[in-house]
Chains A and B, each alone.
Chain A
Amino acid sequence: MDKRTLTDILSKRLNIDKEQTGILLDSFRDVLSDCGRKLDTVSLPGFGTFESKKRMERIALHPATGKRLLIPPKIVLSFKASAILKQKVNKEL
């Protein structure tokens, strides 16, 4: 499913126009990235949590040249599915 189908279905269900759904979706992403930057955890009940983690700098080998590289620290956003979502996804199995 792509973004357009998603906004179409969402706007039908919410009874609002697609433009507003688009704004909400984009704002949701912005809010998520703001929270992620602060290392905050955003939880959506029944769905899962968006968590960001700080990765420390580390030393790695360049696979081609064999040089050692100092890889800088970074913040990575990750998603953890909730138990309910896991269950639903694995229903047929």
Chain B
Amino acid sequence: MNAKITFQELSVMLAESSGLPRKMSEDFLREFTVLVTETLSAGESVKIKGFGTFKLVEIEERKSVNVATGREMTIPVHLRVTFVPSKELAMSVNSPFSAFETVEIDDEISDSEIESVSSEEMIRNNEESNSDEKESGYRETDGYSIQDKTPDLEDRSEQKGPEPDHVASDYDSSEYHPTFESYLDDEDDVDGPDDMENVSNKDGKRFGQGFVIGSLFTLVIVGIIYFVMFGDLEKGSIKQERVTKREVTKTDTISKEISDTVLNEGKTAEGTLTVDTRPSDEVIYDTISTTRFLTTMAKQHYGNYHLWPYIYEENKAILGHPDRIRPGTKVVIPSLSKYGVDAGNKDDIEKAKRLGAEIYARYN
């Protein structure tokens, strides 16, 4: 992580990935940059499908102060080169975090409560992200094993209907779930508080590895105790406030775990995709609403919205036109293995797209 990749390293990686000779990849990179530079200098933008767009943006004249001399000066009108990654590239880069969705926060929680939870988690996050990748604890964060640590988050995000897990079913599911239904477009989030992260990252490095291991285990143990106690004591009478508060905490915890894995091992990105696969014998239900469609469910349960046709196929007896499903309709979410589909396989995604087109064709 945070490594600087030079031109040589990049050309080696490119040669490996493309299977073409090193010389060719080197020439390619050189010519690519030259050509893009030429095109941009000519005032034209470069739009590469599936990759992104290099374009020029005019920056208006503005006043600024020279930090060294304190003298005021004007920065003249100029052009800035911007690169907007395509949706595919942006999604692929973000794949370690693709399991998360935007969560609605209940009005009853005050800002200070949220602050205290998230700042606490952020500090722990930074301590742990600096630890060594050899640490065995991080193995747990791949795929299924997330279930061991935080079973109730798994349940919450995957199952909308009857919940076999005793802990999750302790809560009233109607007040528990709707917060996951909201969606924000990815593109909205361009400016974020990443300065803060950098600063505390430096601080975090002072902590020894031993301390980090210790704090991780304490965290896990405290988590389990907390979880067991509340599961038993407050059966059925848990207040909404507490539920949502814990929801915030759990999202933090999982995000921390996943980001740690990614940052430390780099290559586990595919692992997060498999988070959503379940043993095939479970039956999961979901309910269509005005904000939840088959695609929303496919994205959540399978990690890819293109896979919606399989949900449709499973329920075709009760569904009509896929765009005109009545809100409130309860559908069964089949296991992907039933159709022999792998969410990480590109061919299967293509197959699902064709199946989707076929379903639409039935109604034309």
* A interface residues with partner B (beta carbon < 8 Å): 1-3, 6, 9-10, 13-14, 16, 20-21, 23-48, 50, 52-60, 62, 67-79, 81, 85-86, 88-91, 93
Is residue B274 contacting chain A, with contact meaning CB distance below 8 A? Answer: no
Most B CB contacts (10 A, CB to CB) among A40, A47, A68, A72 go to A72
- CB within 8 A of B85: which of A27, A31, A55, A77? A77
Binds A, one of B43-51, B206-214, B309-317, B338-346: B43-51
Whether B262 pairs with A69 at a CB distance below 8 angstroms is: no
Given A57-B255, A70-B105, A93-B78 contact (CB < 8 Å):
yes
Whether A33 pairs with B105 at a CB distance below 8 angstroms is: no
- CB within 8 A of A88: which of B41, B97, B269? B41
Whether B4 pairs with A41 at a CB distance below 8 angstroms is: yes
- Provide a sorted-by-A list of 9 A–B residue pairs whose CB atoms are within 8 angstroms: A10-B28, A13-B31, A20-B24, A21-B28, A40-B4, A42-B5, A70-B105, A73-B259, A89-B81
* B interface residues with partner A (beta carbon < 8 Å): 1-7, 10, 13-14, 17-20, 24-25, 27-29, 31-33, 35-37, 39-41, 44-51, 54, 56, 76-83, 85, 89-90, 92-97, 100-105, 107, 114, 118, 122, 182, 184, 186, 188-190, 192-194, 196-197, 248, 251-252, 255, 259, 262-263, 266, 269
Chain B hits for A28, CB < 8 A: 14, 28-29, 32, 51
Expressed in whole angstroms, the Cα–Cα distance for A73 and B24 within the complex equals: 38
Whether B7 pairs with A43 at a CB distance below 8 angstroms is: yes
Given A37-B93, A40-B5, A78-B186 contact (CB < 8 Å):
no
Chain B hits for A73, CB < 8 A: 97, 100, 255, 259
Chain A hits for B114, CB < 8 A: 59
Chain B hits for A20, CB < 8 A: 20, 24
Whether B45 pairs with A30 at a CB distance below 8 angstroms is: no
Expressed in whole angstroms, the Cα–Cα distance for A45 and B78 within the complex equals: 22
Other contacts beyond A59-B114, A89-B56: 17, CB < 8 A: A6-B35, A10-B28, A10-B31, A16-B24, A24-B28, A28-B14, A28-B32, A29-B51, A33-B89, A33-B92, A36-B92, A37-B92, A38-B3, A56-B192, A69-B184, A75-B94, A77-B93
Query: How many residue pairs between the two chains, A and B, have CB atoms under 8 Å in the bound complex?
Result: 225
Chain A residue nearest to B109 (CB atoms) is A68
Chain B hits for A36, CB < 8 A: 89, 92-93
Chain B hits for A25, CB < 8 A: 28, 32, 48, 51
Chain B residue nearest to A57 (CB atoms) is B255
Whether B263 pairs with A76 at a CB distance below 8 angstroms is: no
A54 to chain B, nearest CB (A): 7
Expressed in whole angstroms, the Cα–Cα distance for A29 and B3 within the complex equals: 18
The 8 A-B pairs of least Cβ separation, nearest first, read A72-B100, A79-B83, A55-B192, A27-B18, A47-B33, A36-B93, A81-B81, A33-B92
Chain B hits for A47, CB < 8 A: 33, 36-37
- CB within 8 A of A55: which of B4, B14, B24, B194? B194
Whether B105 pairs with A67 at a CB distance below 8 angstroms is: yes
Chain A hits for B24, CB < 8 A: 14, 16, 20, 24
Given A56-B194, A58-B193, A72-B255, A90-B51 contact (CB < 8 Å):
no
